[in-house]
A and B are shown apart, each in its own frame.
Chain A
Amino acid sequence: MIENFLAGTATLFGDPFTIGIFIFGVLGGMLFGAIPGVSMLTLAAILLPFTADLSPAQGVMLFAVIYCTGTYGGAITAILFNIPGAPENAPTAFDGYPMTQKGMAGKAVGAAVLCSAIGGVASALVMMSATEPLAQWAIMNIGPPEIFALVFFGLAVASSVGGRTIWKGWLSVLLGLLIATIGQDPVGGINRFNFGYSDLAAGIAFVPAILGFFAVSEIFIQAEKNVSGKYSAPKFNVDFPSFFELWAHKIAVVRSIFVGFFCGILPGIGATLAAFMGYGEAVRWSKNKSEFGTGKLEGVISSETANNAATGAAMIPLLALGLPGGALTAMMVAVFQMHDLEPGPLVFYNSPELIWIVFAAMFYANLSILFVGLIETKTILYLLKIPFQFLAPMILMLASIGAYISRGLVLDVIVMFIAGIIGFLLRRSGYSIPGIVLGLILGKIGEQNFAQGMQMVHYDLGTYFSRPICTILIVAGVLTLLKSLHSAFFQKPKVT
């Protein structure tokens, strides 16, 4: 393995043009990941035709690098402005933005940079050492019932985040689940709650909903404070977390690497579920669960470690089996095909040099997050010095463009503002915005896999429990729910 890795490294850095492509991918991924609405997918779609003029290794390597750094890029705006660059950065905003409000933006961004790099590098190392056996294991043992059980477990664990009471947290999750049912049902294709409006047949898109619930509602809240004279600008602070602060969260990092990697390896799931599950596990194992959602460093660490840990893992089913884990890896298939190649078992035998250049590039791309990210962060934090009356319209404009550009539908801009108003009202009443977003995102994944799973077990719920992984996750989820209910009956409302 080391010999192959060194050979891949030598090829990667032995040619100035290839180095240029690598640097372009690193910077482009970070930039497009950080701008809401546009994303690494936008950049990848723009670049796709041009990869025909590159060698196969350069083309696939470019997309792999964009995947790594783009997944990290969205964390910056999530932390500084409550605008997640992509759904996989949404959990980062749960605690990252409250940290900014407390004057701890430097610590949050610094932790995001470091943990994204750690998660990505660890994932790349596992990817390099065990791609084929891991892919085979995942494909043989994880099907729709297991993915539904994983989602159920995740919802049970993380649903109490951010609400003033556990009941309000759960109601928020249920609202998210309800919103997730808008549009065609994932199995039969039957329209639900679209009121004859065809654009709603596709459901509520994640990006405008996230922008509305996070960014727009935050603008409304800050504007209200501004009008009533209670507004205070976030304290400007570029202090990065100390070594000891980060060392204290070493277990959270390791746990999130495992969680992120496991989610990433599942075909069609990817980094979004990884980030939510990583965050949820941090909550579950914490002794101070109520502190999550209020500006806890561990929340940022868990989310950002997990979503980058999913990047290397998502390459495993792609390269070993030809099964893309998400939209960007699906576009990588197109890059392969433009060069008359097909990802899958044969590529390891037919094009080993391509595989190892990609592996090496992903390793170094994750490392570069650390160095480029830290330099970038020192600069970008100065955006916090912009006065609110200038910053708010800029954010609203950016969010509106972001909501529109992802699908080119005016509906999405309307959805964003409606979500912003609902979010504003619900936050004032102590309901949980993270809970709503959690329900919306995991609800869609969960419903589809539940329906598929039920078909597979012939609508016999008992058969679900004949699958060991499924049983363990469902039992753990039920126990978590019971514990949550017990707490709800004896919990005193939080003082806010």
Chain B
Amino acid sequence: MKLNLKKQFSTLALVTSFAATASMSLAGECRVAEASMDKPGGFPDRALTMIVPYGPGGGSGQVAAAMAEAVTELTGVSINRDHKPGGSGTVGMTAYMAAPADGYNVLEHIDDASSAHALDSSRPNPAEDLIPLVVSQVTFSQIYIRSNETRYTDWPSFVAWVQAQDGKATIANVSKEGSMERVIMKFITEASDMQIQQISFDKGAPRYGALLGGQVDALFEQPGDVRKFLDAGNFKPILTVFNERPGVFSDVPTHREMGMDFEPLLRFRGFYVHKDAPSDRVDWLKWAFQRAYCEDSYQAFNDSKFMNVIDSYRDTAGAIDMINAAIVQYRDVYKEMGLDVK
């Protein structure tokens, strides 16, 4: 089973992580030369609307706010954020697909849109039904324990302890059916020959509180979301799910170093416009969002979220490659997991 799963990874999937690894040195660099661009036919002559399928306080809400601020700084065009949370992003996506495709409506979304399409092809494909303007955050996952934990202190001792608990050890994450978290945890548990009970918390605060308070034994999360707990010395990473050690986590082993031979799935957040939007407007939006990535305010935001540890930037072509790779990868894994892939 383990070997079969590994074989399911397509070469396309490798593009995602190897591209991220190879371009670590480019993290945070600006790759749009044009500092300005004429507005096509006066577009936009009013504020844009950005539909955000998650609440304002979470990772998507924060990146949407930071990007909106950067675009406004750059172009002077205001962006109204319209949060439509619910259904793991499906409510916001449905609302966006029903909105006029005139270029005035843009969408923020995460890799959940790709995995949702992989599971059910009737859901919009972010690489075909939408045009990615920019992917501005790409990050990896880690496993954390409390810094004052004494039962285990690193990955090998954690695995040994979990194996001794006979399936009663717990880890907090967002383990919705088919989610990136659940898929990676499946790879990890199979490769490490351990059983661990995943506790699904859909909100960050109870999830982090569960580890702080000892309600769970470990936490699966991305580093930017728990930075304050890392800075405060509350949490300690014991495993990085990435192909090589990022510089700031040089003392944390990767899953490959710990004998787990699978391609990591990455979390990515980006901005999209409807494929039927007028092409000249799409070109302007691509420039605005890709150049806004270079704004000092946005770079400061990404820095604060550990989002420049690996290359977080994908232009339209790069984003399409990454999304297509992710869809193929998720679809293969879902079939292997026995899920009903439509």
Interface 1/0 per residue, A108-150 and B, CB below 8 Å: 0000000000000000000000000000001111111000000
Chain B contacts of A323 at CB under 8 A? 205-206, 208-209, 212
Contacts of A201 in B (CB 8 A): 86-88, 90-91
CB within 8 Å of B: which of A175-205?
183-184, 186-191, 198-199, 201-203
**Contact yes or no, A342 B228, CB < 8 A:** yes
Tell me the residues in window 259-306 of chain A with beta carbons closer than 8 Å to chain B beta carbons.
Answer: 267-268
Chain B 208-229 per-residue mask, 1 if CB under 8 angstroms from chain A, else 0: 1110111110000000000111
Q: Does B177 contact A (CB under 8 A)?
A: yes
**B213 x A143 contact (CB < 8 A):** yes
The CA of A447 and the CA of B168, in the complex, are separated in Å by 22
Chain B contributes a number of interface residues (CB within 8 A of A) equal to 53
Instruction: Pick from B56, B201, B227: contact of A327, CB below 8 A.
Output: B56
Q: Which of A219-277 contact B (CB under 8 A)?
A: 267-268
B65 touches A49 (CB 8 A): yes
A334 sits at the interface (CB 8 A): yes
List residues of chain B with CB within 8 A of the CB of A49: 65, 69
Q: Chain A interface: which of B31-39, B192-200, B245-253, B309-317?
A: B192-200
Q: Mark A343-362, 1 if CB is under 8 A from B, else 0.
A: 11110000000000000000
One of A9-17, A21-29, A450-458, A486-494 contacting the partner: A450-458
Q: How far is the CA of A446 from the CA of B82 in the complex (A)?
A: 29
Chain A residues contacting B168 (CB-CB under 8 Å) are: 458
Using A140-B214, A198-B94, A202-B91 as known contacts, say yes or no to A188 and B200 having CB atoms under 8 A apart. yes
Contact A199 B91 (CB under 8 A): yes
User: A455, B205: Cβ atoms under 8 Å?
Assistant: no
1/0 contact trace for A418-434 toward B, CB 8 Å? 00000000000000000
Select A346's contact among B177, B179, B231, beta carbons within 8 Å. B231
Q: Is the CB of A409 within 8 A of B95?
A: yes
Q: How far is the CB of B262 from chain A (nearest CB, A)?
A: 23
B57 at the interface (CB under 8 A from A): yes
Contacts of B85 in A (CB 8 A): 202, 407
Query: A141's closest neighbor in chain B, by CB?
Result: B213
Q: Of B65, B84, B208, B232, which contacts A48 at CB under 8 A?
A: B65
Are A183 and B202 CB-contacts (below 8 A) given A140-B214, A327-B55, A330-B55? no
Does A408 interact with chain B (Cβ within 8 Å)?
A: yes
Nearest chain B residue, comparing its CB with the CB of A52: B69
- Please measure, in the bound complex, the distance between the C-alpha atom of A201 and the C-alpha atom of B116, giving whole angstroms: 13
Which one of A142, A188, A198, A345 lies within 8 Å of B232 (CB-CB)? Answer: A345
Contacts of B65 in A (CB 8 A): 48-49, 334
Q: Which residues of A contact B200 (CB under 8 A)?
A: 186-188, 451-452, 455
Segment 65-122 of B: residues with Cβ below 8 Å from A:
65, 69, 81-88, 90-91, 93-95
A316 is an interface residue with CB less than 8 A from chain B? no
Interface pair A455/B170, CB less than 8 Å apart? yes
B179 touching A189, Cβ below 8 Å? yes
Contacts of B216 in A (CB 8 A): 456
Contact of A189 among B94, B176, B201 (CB under 8 A): B176
Contact partner, A331, options B57, B197, B198, B202, Cβ 8 Å: B57
By the criterion CB–CB under 8 Å, are B95 and A45 in contact? Answer: no
Residues of B within 8 A of A409 (CB): 84, 91, 95
> How far is it, in angstroms, between the C-alpha of A247 and the C-alpha of B177 when the chains are bound?
54
B23 within 8 A of A: no
Q: A199 CA to B95 CA in the complex, in Å? A: 8
Residue of B nearest to A201 (CB): B87
In this assembly, does B156 line the interface, its C-beta being within 8 Å of a C-beta of chain A? no
Indicate which residue in A144, A184, A267 contacts B87 across the interface (CB closer than 8 Å).
A184
Given contacts A184-B87, A198-B87, 11 further A-B contacts (CB under 8 A): A140-B214, A186-B202, A198-B90, A202-B91, A323-B209, A330-B55, A334-B57, A409-B95, A448-B202, A452-B200, A456-B199
